[in-house]
Amino acid sequence: MERIYASYWLETGDDPRRAAEVIAGEQSSGTFVALANETPELKLRSGARVERLDILGHSATPGLPGGMPSARYTQCALELSWPLENIGPSLPNLMATIAGNLFELRQVSGLRLTGLKLPQAFADAYQGPAFGIAGTRKLSGVAHGPLIGTIIKPSIGMSVDETVQQVRELVAGGVDFIKDDELQADGARCPFDERVRGVMRVINEHAERSGKKVMMAFNLTGDLDQMRRRHDLVLAEGGTCVMASLNSIGLIGLQELRRHAQLPIHAHRAGWGYLSRCPQLGWDYAPWQMLWRLAGADHMHVNGLRNKFSEPDESVIAAARSVLNPVMPQAALPAMPVFSSGQTGLQAADTYRALGSVDLIHTAGGGIFAHPQGVAAGVEALRESWVAAMEGVPLEAHARQHPALQAALGFW
């Protein structure tokens, strides 16, 4: 019978085997008291199963408060499995099963979801990304290398005219990709519809002249009808991408947007910190992004190397790898990782080396805007950093032939 597998990092003040069984019980047929109806047959048929429990270490203090007091806490790698028939291939019900009440158990002083393996039925039931890597390359006209991108800044507060002016500079500067900030959707100072019309006029004019249509991810995050209507406007105006904040709209929001959309969905992870910043609690990125790719995300944010946030580089790379990995052997559902936050060309070579792929979007704000020779030179410098990275040429050596890059090295 097909099963769902989820892996956890677990810390417990209880006997680890007992704690694992309590978690398995809580998330399937068990409850706090023994019930006559919970027969051995029922447990065997519907109970979650402890597939693996490896002791990793011990500590004298608990990672999280509120658990059962103990002289010693044990850290473990735990894998549980559930029969698919408990919930069927349903993402919302998967969420309640693999990430429901278990985090609150007293047997738990630390619990983090680290991995997920799903039966193919999920790939049959959900649409996955409609565009992914190949579709994004086709629409943006970037056949090789990363998409060189940037973000409209200041995050919020500019008028439509100011935004259009910024886009004009970026488009003239040769950028491949632009995104709205996640704080800017349909503010009174910069209404979505006017912004789309103004920005697309610039992008379309440039495309007619140059043959290159810059991909702009318009942040349509909102109520469902708003998102559908905004998507339709972007499409009608000739736009090629829409953006939504996943934690704002939830699984149903993304599923419904995907059903409606005819454009790639750029998925923002704003709020990811509250799901992940405590190492003893919450979610690793790998299982989390899998749910959203099944639901239809084409681009997934992964932060960036040496970012200005608190995430370590190895976590960033693990996240980006997970986005490039197949969701399952039978259904790759490829999506594109988006690198951002404090990025310049200085991170290109290390990103390429660590990831082994250029199927990504690399966005820089200050790294482009602050170039002393202007936006075009900023874009060129970032792009040439990637050429150097892909050719295995040291950045300084490559810069000798590329003045824009040379100038950038001074301020990056």
* Contact positions with its own copies (CB under 8 A) in 312-341: 312, 341
Cα–Cα distance between 129 and 36 in angstroms, integer? 46
Give the 3-state secondary structure of 256-308.
HHHHHCCCCEEEECCCHHHHHCCCCEEECHHHHHHHHHHHCCCEEECCCCCCC
Place of tokens 């409850």: 31
Task: Give the strands of the sheet with 3-12, arranged side by side.
Answer: 49-59, 73-83, 3-12, 110-117, 281-283
Binding status of residue 55 toward its own copies by CB under 8 A: no
Question: Contacts with its own copies in 387-406 (CB under 8 A)?
Answer: none
Does position 31 interact with its own copies (CB under 8 A)? The reply is: yes
Query: Of the two residues 43 and 201, which places its CB atom closer to its own copies in the complex?
Result: 43
Among 127, 280, 325, 406, binds its own copies (CB under 8 A): 280
38 lies in the site for its own copies, by CB under 8 A = yes
Query: Which letter does DSSP use for residue 89 in this model?
Result: S
Cα–Cα distance measured from residue 337 to residue 299, given in angstroms and rounded to the nearest whole number:
6
* Nearest residue (CB) to its own copies, 331 versus 370: 370
Applying CB under 8 A, does 372 fall inside the site for its own copies? no
Rg (CA), the chain: 24
Residue 347 DSSP code: G
Residue 253 makes contact with its own copies by CB under 8 A = yes
Binding test (CB under 8 A) with its own copies, winner from 56, 278, 330, 373: 278
CA distance 101 to 103: 6
Q: Which stretch binds its own copies (CB under 8 A): 49-57, 71-79, 135-143, 268-276?
A: 268-276
Helix (H) or strand (E) holding 166: helix 160-172
Q: Are 229 and 220 in contact (CB under 8 A)?
A: no
Nearer to its own copies, 155 or 330 (CB): 155
Looking at residues 135 to 154 of the shown chain, list those that interact with its own copies (rule: CB under 8 A).
153-154
> Per-residue contact track with its own copies, 1 to 20, x per CB under 8 A?
--------------------
Q: Following DSSP, what letter does each residue of 191-228 receive, concatenated?
A: -HHHHHHHHHHHHHHHHHHHS---EEEEE--SSHHHHH
Distance between CA atoms of residues 30 and 381, nearest Å = 59
- Cβ distance to its own copies smaller for residue 133 or 375: 375
As measured in angstroms, the least distance from the Cβ of 246 to its own copies is: 8
Stretch of 72-80, 130-138, 203-211, 365-373 lying at the interface with its own copies (CB under 8 A):
365-373
Identity of the residue, 76 or 291, whose beta carbon is nearer to its own copies in the bound complex: 291
CA distances from 17 to 11, 24, 51, 52, 114 (A): 12, 11, 11, 10, 19
Judged by CB under 8 A, which stretch of 129-137, 206-214, 275-283, 320-328 contacts its own copies? 275-283
Judged by CB under 8 A, which of 157, 326, 372, 394 binds its own copies? 157
Contact in structure between 336 and 360 (CB atoms under 8 Å): yes
SS3 label, residue 237: coil
Tokens of 344: 């310049």
> Is the Cβ of residue 294 or residue 388 nearer to its own copies in the bound state?
294
Q: At closest approach, how far in Å is the CB of 29 from its own copies?
A: 4
- Contact code string over 183-222 relative to its own copies, x by CB under 8 A: x-xxxxx-------------------------------xx
In the bound state with its own copies, the residue whose beta carbon lies nearer, of 142 and 302, is 302
Site for its own copies in 87-116 (CB under 8 A): 87-88, 90-93, 95-97, 99-106, 108, 111
